[in-house]
Amino acid sequence: MTENYGIALLYATVSVVLLAVLLQLARLLRPKEMRPETDQGRQIKYKTYECGIEIEGDSWIQFNIRFYVVALIFIIFDVEALLLFPWAVVFTDIGMIAFVEMLIFLGILALGLAYAWRKGDLAWVKQSAKNAGGRYHNAETERVL
């Protein structure tokens, strides 16, 4: 029993020593010439780094929120697939209760997808106020929503 603790203690000790050695090595090898108080140092410090390639344009561009919504929906259904594959492998062993649970899980995801679709979050080009069926039709909503 004490051998198990000995192995864990050895692992923790080696991890801490390796961490300390790597931090000290990085401290010794880092460049020391940059001085942020000079104009050149300030320019270098606040410059965007893109894998060694000179940047083009400003790094503070605004992305459309639709990219994030589509990415979030993709991640949700990707995780669903990850949960579905192991479940399908052991389906015959786990019985009918697990089948019902998976149907409930898939139903909740289907409701979420239907809600996002109905809300218009999956439409890449939003409808204008004139084409929205008159729901939001007034002088301020003439522009594209």
For residue 141, the model assigns a pLDDT of 46
Three-state secondary-structure class, residue 66: helix
For residue 21, the model assigns a pLDDT of 98
**Nearest-10 crossing angle of helices 96-119, 65-89:** 170
For residue 17, the model assigns a pLDDT of 98
For residue 37, the model assigns a pLDDT of 62
N-terminal to C-terminal alpha carbon distance within the chain: 67
Q: Give 10-residue mean pLDDT values along the chain (145 residues).
A: 81 97 93 64 65 68 81 90 87 85 92 89 70 49 47
Q: Which of 125, 122, 102 is nearest to 114 (CA)?
A: 122
With left for phi above 0 and alpha for psi between -120 and 50, is residue 22 left, alpha or beta?
alpha
What is the b/e burial string over 99-132, where b = at least 16 CB atoms within 10 angstroms of the residue's CB?
Answer: eeebeeeeeeeeeeeeebeeeebeeeeeeebeee
